[in-house]
């Protein structure tokens, strides 16, 4: 299928290694952040979210870190697997939940080498 990863920053990791994907967000007033995974030919899939009153949240094999001082968000994937290969987007909500409007980053292509 057609790739959405053309011209995107690429992170290449070995299977079993940990992956860290970084994102800078734009609005200090944003209070909700989400990481999405998008495989070729599919819509974005929710991975994990975090609210601005937290600096860390853990899920299954994934951890999101939020640094509001430098407006930086990161996604850590433990023991990366071939099925993790996809484009990863961070997204922010800027309007305090008044709408579901999400502002997406440019995306990072994660390539897992067997």
Least distance (Å) between residue 99 CB and other proteins: 3
Least distance (Å) between residue 104 CB and other proteins: 3
CB of 79 or CB of 111, closer to other proteins: 111
Give the DSSP per-residue string, 15-78: TTS-EEEEEE-S-TT--EEEEEEE-TTS--EEEEEEETT-SEEE-SSEEEEEETTTTEEEEEES
Residues numbered 60-79 forming contacts with other proteins, rule: CB under 8 A: none
Least distance (Å) between residue 58 CB and other proteins: 17
CB of 69 or CB of 100, closer to other proteins: 100
CB of 19 or CB of 30, closer to other proteins: 30
Q: Who's near 32: CB < 8 A, 6+ residues apart?
A: 49, 50, 51, 52, 92, 93, 97
* Alpha-carbon gap, residue 4 to 20, rounded angstroms: 20
Q: Hey, what are 9's tokens?
A: 């920053």
Residues numbered 33-52 forming contacts with other proteins, rule: CB under 8 A: 36, 41-46, 49, 51
- Residue 88 three-state SS: strand
Choose, by CB under 8 A, the member of 73, 89, 110, 112 that binds other proteins: 89
Least distance (Å) between residue 24 CB and other proteins: 13
């Amino acid at each position: 299928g057609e790739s959405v990863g053309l011209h995107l920053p690429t992170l290449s990791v070995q299977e079993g290694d940990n992956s860290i994907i970084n994102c800078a967000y734009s609005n200090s007033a944003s209070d909700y952040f989400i990481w999405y995974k998008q495989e070729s030919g599919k819509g974005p899939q929710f991975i994990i979210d975090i609210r601005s009153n937290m600096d860390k949240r853990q899920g299954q094999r994934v951890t999101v870190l939020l640094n509001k001082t430098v407006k930086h968000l990161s996604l850590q994937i433990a023991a990366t697997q071939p099925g993790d290969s996809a484009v990863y987007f961070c997204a922010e909500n800027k309007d305090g939940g008044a709408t579901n409007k999400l502002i997406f980053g440019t995306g990072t292509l994660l390539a897992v080498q067997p």
